[in-house]
């Protein structure tokens, strides 16, 4: 039995919905369908979710937003008309939306969550109607009825463990289950959304709850690429990678799959298949617990910019119990998270995302480190890029580090930092932002020998 | 003006003392002489300091130790006789020692410190007597009279800042100053010793206080080697290195110079020259603030065994504010210090010295990490060696990492961990202990192309 999830771009028009219909019905194992809100129909289009956010915000500010609300309804109407579904479903959606928009606004966060979630919820209703119209037994299932309960954290809901048992009972239902992504219900009965792209999370939770054999995630790319296609032309597609590899890649710039979404599938050991709605015969990318190592040590190369480093040196730092812990605590007290802490004997470098630290915070952090820790030197360096070379097979491969370092050296890229823990799923190189492209290209050339975009 | 320090092996016999006399008097800039206690006269001999420790412990346990005490006096007597100094100095030393041994034992730690320190103190008196006997103006200076004040931490004294000004006044004295190493006085007037090999510390403090131009440290090797001579035959001698390079090398297995001892000289920017008493014409090794980069990126390769690693993984660890800090805090609460913390996205590896963690502590640490931090996996790996490739010039040298990694790869050494912070004074490779020798040899071969001992 399979859980199938479709993203917004797969649901942006009647033509797309038709593809979805054929994909779902071509395999009787596909039992539960999780859907996003309609995405962009064309490049300059607005996603329904974004329309809904604008609409809710205007309602909160002025008490009405007739044009935005009608624009939302219009998007569903266009799809329904294209599919010749008739007006009744659109009337239902309009009623539902206006009831929501004119409802209780005493808790603005919760109000916003409820309005946002209607994008998925109404789309699930529309899609269930279309499947039935095509003669297939299918029912819209409300997450509250199904027992998908979450913590009361609007925009960042965490699934409650009891949900899995509740969802398991959906197995008894006859026909297809059309399930809205992106939200669950608090124990008080309020709609609470997951973080953005949360439909991936719903699919993963449902796969876990239903004890599915496979979680299929349909999007608009053929596969996860081994490197950013804006750096390398026709990059190699990854046919199989592990959860950990996926997580390392998605951390540093790979946005195909929401990484929090992997957890429920990962915990249940359910493979995730990423496929293309527009090219369903393409093999796609499978995310698994373990994979055979057949394609060399490296599975992918990811990179991201916007990092900075705080270099702290103090003679005999190494002898001071608690020095590193206290340095990290100063960051924590400023609400900062860090990424890595490479160190020498008497120095440590804290790498963190620049965006979370404004100039005033930076001055305050430096001052605290100098004064509380009596550091000899504190130097902040900006505009760093982190490059992750990822692959489980690196663990047993003696020469991978040498190959990576040599490739960077030959491309005249200076390595600012290296970090490789004993997991060896990944190797991190810190370089200057200006050298990111050159560095990624050199590493890709070394491990995949592809065509570069210069 | 120079401060000169002689280690125990340079002072173990009359013949050695004669060498010291000629070295000191051959350069009129040599003003202050810091001396250790007599070291081993021959390989199976016992250092005077070790005799004194045994003696003090027996006194504390039984109230007397006539044979050990006489053995100490005998060591001075042998030297005095060899130098034809006559009996009076030996009688003085005997009186001083027995007065000390039979003195107040109410604070055993302080008693032990006072007895230990007498090794240096009496040697300074003996040497001053010998210089005068040879017709040179020289006086023994007591650290208390000179104002060398330290914290009241027996065996781990820290110099008090006022000492430097007090010691500066010694410049006014005429003739040579013979100063005992290894100890200072608390503000209460008690003898308190530095950590072991603390005569290096005294020399460095005196150099700082006297504002010397150079601190000469005489020992029994021609120079600091670029690699452990038990791994590589005739290793390259280092003619010049920076304080930071020295510190990184001495941290991981280089024991020529006590690294705490560098601080006072480092703070005052006074170069340290390491020379050989038995071959004073050899150039030796100079430790400086900055050096010209003429000899390639790497100045030395050090390694040490006895490390272990605690690998901690948890899915989405990276998102948890304070995870790393809390892990380090658990170590701190167990009294453990750590060396490095390489990390992946969702894992961190804490490298620490094995010796400080017994099996019970290890179990407790693992349990706390599992329970308090809800880690997915905690794995301890033992028998690791850390290899430090050290050199300030690595900072600007694009290919050094590649060369090091390639050398290890070609020697079939698997790199368990890499750590290189933005200081880039050193690069750390973690390997299995069994591969330490092979790894060091491969790195030496790459950077120095020497003859290996296999």
> Residue B28 gets which letter from DSSP?
T
> What is the rounded average pLDDT for all residues in chain A?
91
Shortest CA distance to A304 belongs to which of A386, A183, A213? A386
Residue A217 domain-assigned (yes or no): no
Shortest CA distance to A383 belongs to which of B319, B394, B348, B422? B422
Which pLDDT band holds residue A317 (cuts at 50, 70, 90)? Answer: confident
Distance from CA of A432 to the nearest CA of B (A): 12
Q: Are residues A194 and A343 in the same domain?
A: no
Q: Are residues B308 and B198 in the same domain?
A: no
Residue B200 domain-assigned (yes or no): yes
Which pLDDT band holds residue A419 (cuts at 50, 70, 90)? Answer: confident
- Chain B touched by A340 (CB under 8 Å): yes
Q: Which residues of A touch B427 (CB under 8 A)?
A: 418
Q: Are residues A314 and A173 in the same domain?
A: no
Q: Which of A208, A229, A244 is the last residue of a domain?
A: A208
Q: Are residues A194 and A334 in the same domain?
A: no
Query: Phi and psi for A287 in degrees, rounded to 5?
Result: -105, 125
Q: Are residues B304 and B190 in the same domain?
A: no
Q: Dihedral, CA atoms, B349, B354, B358, B359, nearest 10 degrees?
A: 50
Q: Which of B208, B228, B249 is the last residue of a domain?
A: B208
Q: Are residues B178 and B324 in the same domain?
A: no
The model's pLDDT over A235-245, given as tens digits with 9 standing for 90+, comes to: 899 999 998 88
Q: Are residues B309 and B172 in the same domain?
A: no
- Chain A touched by B406 (CB under 8 Å): yes
Residue B232 domain-assigned (yes or no): no
ipTM of the complex: 0.73
Residue A320's pLDDT is 77
Distance from C-alpha of B326 to C-alpha of B371, rounded to nearest angstrom? 12
Residue B126 domain-assigned (yes or no): yes
The model's pLDDT over A212-236, given as tens digits with 9 standing for 90+, comes to: 999 999 988 888 889 988 899 888 9
Shortest CA distance to B6 belongs to which of B196, B274, B182, B217? B217
Domain CATH code at residue B127: 3.40.1160.10
Q: And the tokens for A387?
A: 């490059």
Contact (CB, 8 A) for A299 and A245? yes
Residue A213 domain-assigned (yes or no): no
What are the CA-CA distances from residue A89 to residues A38, A98, A322, B3, B418 (Å)? Answer: 16, 14, 63, 95, 60
Residue B82 domain-assigned (yes or no): yes
User: Count of CB atoms within 10 A of residue B371's CB?
Assistant: 9
Residue A96: domain span: 11-208
Distance from C-alpha of A440 to C-alpha of A232, rounded to nearest angstrom? 9
For the four alpha carbons of B10, B12, B16 and B21, in that order, the dihedral sign comes to: positive
> Contact B332/A322, CB-based, under 8 Å?
yes
Contact (CB, 8 A) for B245 and B390? yes
Name which of A423, A426, A438 to mutate to probe chain B: the one with the most chain B Cβ atoms within 10 A of its Cβ: A423
Q: Which of A185, A208, A231 is the last residue of a domain?
A: A208
How confident is the prediction along chain B (454 residues), in pLDDT tens digits per residue? 999 999 999 999 999 999 999 999 999 999 999 999 999 888 788 899 999 999 999 999 999 999 999 999 999 999 999 999 988 999 999 999 999 999 999 999 999 999 999 999 999 999 999 999 999 999 999 999 999 999 999 998 999 999 999 999 999 999 999 999 999 999 999 999 998 778 999 999 999 999 999 999 998 888 888 998 889 988 889 999 998 888 888 776 666 667 778 889 988 999 999 999 999 999 999 999 888 766 678 999 999 999 999 999 887 777 777 888 999 999 999 989 888 888 877 888 999 999 999 999 999 999 999 999 999 899 999 999 999 999 988 876 678 888 998 999 999 998 888 887 666 688 889 999 999 999 999 999 999 986 666 5
Q: What residues form DSSP beta bridges with A351?
A: A309, A340
Residue B285 domain-assigned (yes or no): no
Contact (CB, 8 A) for A326 and B326? no
Q: Are residues B57 and B162 in the same domain?
A: yes
Domain CATH code at residue A431: 3.30.2130.10
Residue B410 domain-assigned (yes or no): yes
The model's pLDDT over A368-416, given as tens digits with 9 standing for 90+, comes to: 999 999 998 999 999 999 999 999 888 766 788 889 989 999 999 988 8
Q: And the tokens for A166?
A: 């509740």
Q: Are residues A326 and A204 in the same domain?
A: no
Residue B140's pLDDT is 97
Residue B197's pLDDT is 75
The model's pLDDT over A29-83, given as tens digits with 9 standing for 90+, comes to: 999 999 999 998 887 888 999 999 999 999 999 999 999 999 999 999 999 999 9
Q: Which residues of B touch A343 (CB under 8 A)?
A: 339-341, 419, 421
Residue A396's pLDDT is 65
Highest mean pLDDT among A143-152, A330-339, A441-450, B226-235: A143-152
pLDDT at A309 over 60: yes
Q: Are residues B182 and B40 in the same domain?
A: yes
Q: Are residues A40 and A175 in the same domain?
A: yes
Q: How many domains does chain A have?
A: 2
Q: Are residues A334 and A435 in the same domain?
A: yes
- Chain B touched by A335 (CB under 8 Å): yes
pLDDT at A10 over 80: yes
Q: What residue in B sits closest to A399 (Cα-Cα)?
A: B409
Contact (CB, 8 A) for B105 and B111? yes
> Contact A406/B406, CB-based, under 8 Å?
yes
Each residue of A180-201: b (16+ CB within 10 Å) or e?
bbbbbbbeeebbbbbbebbbbb
């Amino acid at each position: 039995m399979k859980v199938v999830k479709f993203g917004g771009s797969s649901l942006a028009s009647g033509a797309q919905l038709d593809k979805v219909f054929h994909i779902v019905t071509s395999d009787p194992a596909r039992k539960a369908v999780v859907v996003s809100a309609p995405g962009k129909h064309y490049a300059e289009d607005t996603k329904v979710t974004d329309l809904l956010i604008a609409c809710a915000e205007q309602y909160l500010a002025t008490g009405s937003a007739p044009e935005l609300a009608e624009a939302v309804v219009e998007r569903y109407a266009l799809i329904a008309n294209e599919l010749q579904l008739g007006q009744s479903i659109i009337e239902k959606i309009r009623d539902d939306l206006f009831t929501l928009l004119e409802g209780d606004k005493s808790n603005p966060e919760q109000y916003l969550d409820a309005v946002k979630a209607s994008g998925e919820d109404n789309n699930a209703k529309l899609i269930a109607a279309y499947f039935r119209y095509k003669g297939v037994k299918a029912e819209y299932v409300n997450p509250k009825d199904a027992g998908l309960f979450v913590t009361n954290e609007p925009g960042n809901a965490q699934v409650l463990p009891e949900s899995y048992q509740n969802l398991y009972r959906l197995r008894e239902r006859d026909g297809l289950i059309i399930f809205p992504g992106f939200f669950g219900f608090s124990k008080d009965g309020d709609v609470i959304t997951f973080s953005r792209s949360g439909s991936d999370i719903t699919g993963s939770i449902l796969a876990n709850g239903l004890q599915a054999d496979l979680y299929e995630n349909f999007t608009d790319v053929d596969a996860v690429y081994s490197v950013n296609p804006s750096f390398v032309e026709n990059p190699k597609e990854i046919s199989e990678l592990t959860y950990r590899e996926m997580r390392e890649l998605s951390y540093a710039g790979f946005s195909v799959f929401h990484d929090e979404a992997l957890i429920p599938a990962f915990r249940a050991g359910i493979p995730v298949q990423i496929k293309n709605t527009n090219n369903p015969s393409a093999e796609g990318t499978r995310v698994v617990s373990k994979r055979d190592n057949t394609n060399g040590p490296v599975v992918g190369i990811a990179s991201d910019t916007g990092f900075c480093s705080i270099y702290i040196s103090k003679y005999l730092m190494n002898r001071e119990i608690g020095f590193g812990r206290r340095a990290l605590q100063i960051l924590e007290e400023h609400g900062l998270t860090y990424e890595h802490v490479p160190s020498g004997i008497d120095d440590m470098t804290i790498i963190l995302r620049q965006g979370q630290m404004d100039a005033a915070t930076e001055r305050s952090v430096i001052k605290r480190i100098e004064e509380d820790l009596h550091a000899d030197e504190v130097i902040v360096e900006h505009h760093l890029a982190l490059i992750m070379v990822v692959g489980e097979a690196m663990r047993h491969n003696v020469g991978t580090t040498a190959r990576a370092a040599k490739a960077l050296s030959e491309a005249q890229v200076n390595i600012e930092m290296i970090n490789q823990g004993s997991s060896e799923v990944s190797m991190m190189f810190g370089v200057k932002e200006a050298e990111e492209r050159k560095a990624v290209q050199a590493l890709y050339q070394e491990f995949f020998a592809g065509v570069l975009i210069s």
